[in-house]
Each structure stands twice: as C-alpha cells, then as structure tokens.
C-alpha cells in the first residue's frame, strides 16, 4: 500500500514537471489548470514510454520522449475539440 502511494506521488510530480516543460516549449496560449497540466504530462509520459520501449531508449532520452509526447497531445487535443471536427462530435465534444 505504501509503495503504491509513493508511485502515485512520483507519477503526479513527474507528470506535472513534464507537462510544465511541454507547455513552456509549445508556442501559443495553453490555457489549462494545474490538474490538466499534470494529466497532460502523465499522458505524454505514457506515449513517450511506449515509443521509448520500441526504440530501446531510457534515462534522459525517455524524459525527452515524454516531453515530446506531451507536446504532441498539446497539439492534437485542441484540434479534436474544434466545433467543425467530426471526430469531436463522435467523442461527445
């Protein structure tokens, strides 16, 4: 139980840092809350981790992939939420 709590805390902290870095590097306005920034970083870390596994990358390279994954999410998600986007209507957005 204690190990799970520590793992979740680490995931929130690393997700927050990765999300902040991605938002700082991405041009343009990125209006979102702290919670959304953390979720952005966690999602980007997941994407970067999958790519890192495929490419056998770890360490600093994994962190770079996590930031790039977060930037990809930061670029894709607003485009899916546009009113004219068919996919957004199917997703309920």
**pLDDT tens, residue by residue, 47-91:** 998 999 999 988 889 899 999 999 999 998 887 877 765 554 555
Rounded Cα distance, 93 and 29, in Å: 20
Given a contact cutoff of 8 angstroms between Cβ atoms, the answer to whether 16 and 44 are in contact is no
Indicate the domain borders of the chain: 33-93
Non-local (6+) Cβ contacts of 33 within 8 A are none
Given a contact cutoff of 8 angstroms between Cβ atoms, the answer to whether 15 and 59 are in contact is no
pLDDT at 32 over 80: yes
Closest CA to 11 of 33, 35, 41: 41
Global pTM value: 0.78
């Amino acid at each position: 139980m204690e190990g799970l709590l520590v793992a979740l805390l680490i995931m929130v902290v690393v997700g927050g840092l990765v999300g902040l870095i991605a938002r700082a590097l991405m041009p343009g306005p990125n209006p979102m809350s702290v919670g959304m920034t953390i979720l952005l970083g966690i999602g980007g870390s997941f994407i970067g981790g999958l790519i890192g596994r495929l490419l056998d990358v770890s360490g600093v390279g994994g962190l770079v992939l996590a930031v790039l994954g977060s930037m990809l999410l930061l670029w894709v998600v607003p485009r899916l939420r546009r009113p004219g986007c068919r996919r957004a209507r199917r997703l309920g957005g």
